Structure 1
């Protein structure tokens, strides 16, 4: 449950720490089988298409570190 006190606490974290917190929360949700997200057939087809494209040419993959640095550039 979201409380004003909890909001005050997480706002004390740096942006990078809050991003890490969100990632950790997301991972914990994904790990729970009881909250498994159902994908539509179109979503499953797209995932299969992307995996097949990657397997056909793995050199097109972009490392997570590169993607993350573009999404969240460090401020000077």
Structure 2
């Protein structure tokens, strides 16, 4: 594996600036997509937990106006 990476690195370093730029954009885009998928999965899990807790009575909901008032008062502190 290390050898393959060395070969890839040599190839990349031989690219002109435009080629390196295009490759870098592609790699960053690929990483961004992977992160987005993981974040989306985590938020879905969190939503499912919160919904389950609400349905079981473990937590109670409050009106949006009350939640916003609470948030605003904490921002002013």
TM-score range, shorter chain: 0.3 to 0.5
Structure with greater proportional helix content: 2
Instruction: Give the TM-score normalised by structure 2.
Output: 0.39
Question: Which structure would you say has the larger Rg?
Answer: 2
Instruction: Give the TM-score normalised by structure 1.
Output: 0.39
